[in-house]
Chain A
Amino acid sequence: MSSGLRILVGVKRVVDSAVKVRVNSTQTGVETANVKHSMNPFDEIAVEEAIRLREKQKGNDKIQEIIALSCGPAKAQETLRTALAMGADRAIHVKTDEMLEPLSVAKLFSRIISEEKPNLVILGKQAIDDDSNQTGQMLAGLLNWPQATFASKVDIKDNSSLEVVREVDGGLETVTSSLPAIVTTDLRLNEPRYASLPNIMKAKKKPLKTISPADLGVDIKARLQTIKVTEPPKRQGGTVVDSVDELLNKLRNEAKVL
């Protein structure tokens, strides 16, 4: 293999974080028609980190290529274009209109990875639509690769080792691992750049390959069944109590927390 490292980043198209999500009329999911979508924010951080590594790494540790991968409907290509405009070199689109569970995505990724053989895979820690927080971990399991989740700092050393600072309850944990490895990003890893206008125009000319789950020989049938999706109950207004006694009384007899 030629010198230099290759990074694969996962990007998912999700309902934009600024959109007020509404449950659809059949209560099977959230309304997605005519709703603004964009790249999952944690995936933007993943793309940004790959680009920063390329800007930082020199010599043998040089990043030779950044590949963006998305699984989803035709529109997922827009998300891939955004990744290309941010700085990824080429894109792969696994096209399907099926609802994908984390296990299916992990399987699709593992197939692509066995072909592309990247040294590092960076994914968001979760997608803001289903909040599963599973794909990275499942992928590491399927590939039998080391994983460093919730990364807030990533360093590559000597072409072969990875040092990641993780955000854990109560503080920061520093872990090292060999490459190849899976990293999932946390919010504080970096602040993603804007895709500049010239780079948006250049992204049009970068290669984007489309492939189907069947081509990869992956069964993406859902293992889970969604019974019903409902909105959280409306928040009830609070009441003002006149005395400590009344408060205690309410906590004891109404809220039943004492």
Chain B
Amino acid sequence: MFRSTISLTTRRQLAASIARHPTALPSVSLLTRSFSATRAFRDDTDDTVAKTSLHTLTEDEQMMREMVSRFAVDVVQPKVSEMDEAEKMDPAIIKGLFDNGLMGVETPAEFSGAEASFLSAILVIEELARIDPSISVLCDVHNTLVNTVFRHYASDHLKQKYLPLLATEKLGCFCLSEAGSGSDAFALQTRAELKGDHYVINGSKMWITNSGEADIFLVFATVDPSKGYKGITCFVVERDMGVTIAKKEKKLGIRASSTCQLSFDDMRVPVENVVGEVGKGYKIAIEILNEGRIGIAAQMLGLAQGAFDTAMPYMFQRKQFGSFIGDFQAMQHQYAQIAVEIEAARLLTYNAARLKEEGKPFIKEAAMAKLYASQVAERASSKAVEWMGGVGFTRDVPAEKFYRDCKIGAIYEGTSNIQLQTIAKLLAKDYRE
């Protein structure tokens, strides 16, 4: 309706100004245009906050990063190749994660956790992935999905019962996907029927990370298929309530991380094990995966850095045609390019994490970070293999493993298409009239 009030000259001026300022996007109405000019910026000024770069960490975040980096190099690295070949996680490493407090990063101290920041968890995941993306995803799922569901949605009873166990000894997993419901997660079929003081759960799950070693399962099931997604409910299930591993997948990458199909056959779960409200499981899943993506971004970022750090020293050891291969301009431009991309992925990831910590909207930024970090991981690890020539193609160096491991980043916790869709949807909302 504003459109009709704008004279032809105004329109011409507008068109000219839009051409000069391509960021002031193609809205024709005067009112919308003045809004859209500000839309490029977030409304989050805060004069009380010290100006810092995204590389500025708090002292404890810095100490944690150094500690995890040492743990990864001293304890994890010697086992990486063996675990990958055997497609099995070493229980001693899982125990090491628990003993050093890496499995309850954000868990409050009263529940035996470290009570550290979300960015701390992100740094832990990144540092582990530099050495082994498999151990990294184990820690990621446990912290950013399982612990967070308990912290945000569980009753005090469930928190008291499970958070200390999850921080000190019992591994958790997050069971949403099924054979028929992947990207379309809410088409899930697993049924939960109320029988007195118990729910009886029947159905099966697919692709469940950590399920090979886990004791605590967050299971999404519907209490009433006729209600569609509004029937979906989240349950805490212990392994001995009746979780059966139907099959362990053999995979391209992150082979030490267990991914299994699960089946539930008349599994009885007490009513008090419902997390949050009955029928609100879909909301839990959406919200958790929104922030969980920042964890996957961190895993992919660490992977990219790990691949880069593997190949770079070789550049200045290997000579061909009388010079170090790293001194050929064609190589220089490639590693400079990858370094820029890794830095960009890091900034996207840390920024999404800080936005979340500050309680600001972060969904778009999280999706951007996950999408881009997984793309950078793929390019960096691919280049790392190439830069090391034949050596890079062998299993004697970890470059080929990073290359195999990177591919999962474009699939789990929302495929790349789904990330793009999320980003697009949020963008369109800003610009659509």
Binding site for B on A (CB under 8 A): 38, 78, 81-82, 85, 194-204
Stretch at the interface among B58-66, B177-185, B326-334, B415-423: B58-66
Smallest CB gap from A192: residue in B: B70
A200 touches B67 (CB 8 A): yes
Pick 8 A–B contacts, CB within 8 A, sort by A.
A78-B63, A195-B63, A197-B67, A197-B100, A197-B102, A197-B116, A200-B63, A203-B63
CB distance from A193 to the nearest CB of B (A): 9
Contact A200/B99 with A194-B70, A194-B71 known, Cβ cut-off 8 Å = no
Q: Does B242 interact with chain A (Cβ within 8 Å)?
A: no
CB distance from A41 to the nearest CB of B (A): 12
Q: Does B115 interact with chain A (Cβ within 8 Å)?
A: yes
- Chain B residues with CB below 8 A from A200, complex form: 60, 63-64, 67, 101, 114, 116
A198 touches B63 (CB 8 A): no
Count of B residues near A, CB < 8 Å? 23
Contact A85/B100 with A197-B105, A198-B109, A198-B113 known, Cβ cut-off 8 Å = no
Q: 6 nearest interchain CB pairs?
A: A197-B101, A197-B114, A196-B101, A198-B114, A198-B101, A196-B100
Contact with A along B302-323 (1 / 0, CB 8 A): 0000000000000000000000
Q: Does B112 interact with chain A (Cβ within 8 Å)?
A: yes
CB distance from B402 to the nearest CB of A (A): 21
CB distance from B403 to the nearest CB of A (A): 26
Contact A81/B59 with A194-B70, A196-B101 known, Cβ cut-off 8 Å = yes
- Chain B residues with CB below 8 A from A199, complex form: 101
Smallest CB gap from B73: residue in A: A18
- Chain A residues with CB below 8 A from B100, complex form: 194, 196-197
B112 touches A198 (CB 8 A): yes
Q: State in angstroms the CA–CA spacing of A198 and B67 once bound together.
A: 12
Smallest CB gap from A78: residue in B: B59
CB distance from A78 to the nearest CB of B (A): 7
Contact A201/B114 with A194-B100, A195-B63 known, Cβ cut-off 8 Å = yes
- Chain B residues with CB below 8 A from A196, complex form: 67, 99-101, 114
List residues 76-133 of chain B with CB under 8 A from any CB of chain A: 99-102, 104-105, 109, 112-116, 120, 124
Interface-central residue, A78, A82, A196, A197, by most chain B CB under 10 Å: A197
Smallest CB gap from A36: residue in B: B66
CB distance from A109 to the nearest CB of B (A): 25
CB distance from B316 to the nearest CB of A (A): 12
Smallest CB gap from B113: residue in A: A198
A201 touches B59 (CB 8 A): no
- Chain A residues with CB below 8 A from B59, complex form: 78, 81, 204
* A contacts with B: majority SS: helix
Which of B62, B64, B70 contacts A197 (CB under 8 A)?
B64
- Chain B residues with CB below 8 A from A85, complex form: 63
- Chain A residues with CB below 8 A from B63, complex form: 78, 81-82, 85, 195, 200, 203
- Chain B residues with CB below 8 A from A201, complex form: 60, 109, 114-116
Smallest CB gap from A196: residue in B: B101
Q: State in angstroms the CA–CA spacing of A195 and B112 once bound together.
A: 15
Q: State in angstroms the CA–CA spacing of A148 and B64 once bound together.
A: 34
CB distance from A257 to the nearest CB of B (A): 32
Interface-central residue, A38, A82, A200, A203, by most chain B CB under 10 Å: A200
Q: State in angstroms the CA–CA spacing of A199 and B63 once bound together.
A: 11
Smallest CB gap from B102: residue in A: A197
CB distance from B240 to the nearest CB of A (A): 28
Q: State in angstroms the CA–CA spacing of A195 and B67 once bound together.
A: 7
CB distance from A189 to the nearest CB of B (A): 18
Q: State in angstroms the CA–CA spacing of A52 and B105 once bound together.
A: 25
CB distance from A77 to the nearest CB of B (A): 8
Which of A38, A194, A204 contacts B60 (CB under 8 A)?
A204
Q: State in angstroms the CA–CA spacing of A194 and B69 once bound together.
A: 11
Q: State in angstroms the CA–CA spacing of A198 and B70 once bound together.
A: 17
CB distance from A19 to the nearest CB of B (A): 13
- Chain A residues with CB below 8 A from B124, complex form: 197
CB distance from B355 to the nearest CB of A (A): 22
Q: State in angstroms the CA–CA spacing of A204 and B59 once bound together.
A: 9
- Chain A residues with CB below 8 A from B67, complex form: 194-197, 200
- Chain B residues with CB below 8 A from A195, complex form: 63, 67
Q: State in angstroms the CA–CA spacing of A82 and B64 once bound together.
A: 10
CB distance from B53 to the nearest CB of A (A): 14
List residues 12-43 of chain B with CB under 8 A from any CB of chain A: none
- Chain A residues with CB below 8 A from B101, complex form: 196-200
- Chain B residues with CB below 8 A from A203, complex form: 60, 63
Smallest CB gap from A18: residue in B: B73
- Chain A residues with CB below 8 A from B64, complex form: 197, 200
Q: State in angstroms the CA–CA spacing of A164 and B283 once bound together.
A: 62
List residues 388-406 of chain B with CB under 8 A from any CB of chain A: none
CB distance from B63 to the nearest CB of A (A): 5
Interface-central residue, B100, B105, B115, by most chain A CB under 10 Å: B100
- Chain A residues with CB below 8 A from B116, complex form: 197, 200-201
- Chain A residues with CB below 8 A from B105, complex form: 197
- Chain A residues with CB below 8 A from B71, complex form: 194
- Chain A residues with CB below 8 A from B109, complex form: 198, 201-202
**A78-B59, A197-B105 known, 11 other contacts, Cβ within 8 Å:** A194-B70, A194-B71, A197-B101, A197-B116, A198-B101, A198-B104, A198-B115, A200-B63, A200-B101, A200-B116, A204-B59
CB distance from A154 to the nearest CB of B (A): 24
CB distance from B147 to the nearest CB of A (A): 13
- Chain B residues with CB below 8 A from A78, complex form: 59, 62-63
Q: State in angstroms the CA–CA spacing of A202 and B63 once bound together.
A: 12
- Chain A residues with CB below 8 A from B112, complex form: 198
Q: State in angstroms the CA–CA spacing of A144 and B60 once bound together.
A: 39
Smallest CB gap from A204: residue in B: B60
Smallest CB gap from A16: residue in B: B66
Q: State in angstroms the CA–CA spacing of A199 and B60 once bound together.
A: 10
- Chain B residues with CB below 8 A from A202, complex form: 109
- Chain B residues with CB below 8 A from A194, complex form: 67, 70-71, 100
Q: State in angstroms the CA–CA spacing of A64 and B66 once bound together.
A: 29
CB distance from B134 to the nearest CB of A (A): 20
CB distance from A191 to the nearest CB of B (A): 9
Q: State in angstroms the CA–CA spacing of A162 and B100 once bound together.
A: 32
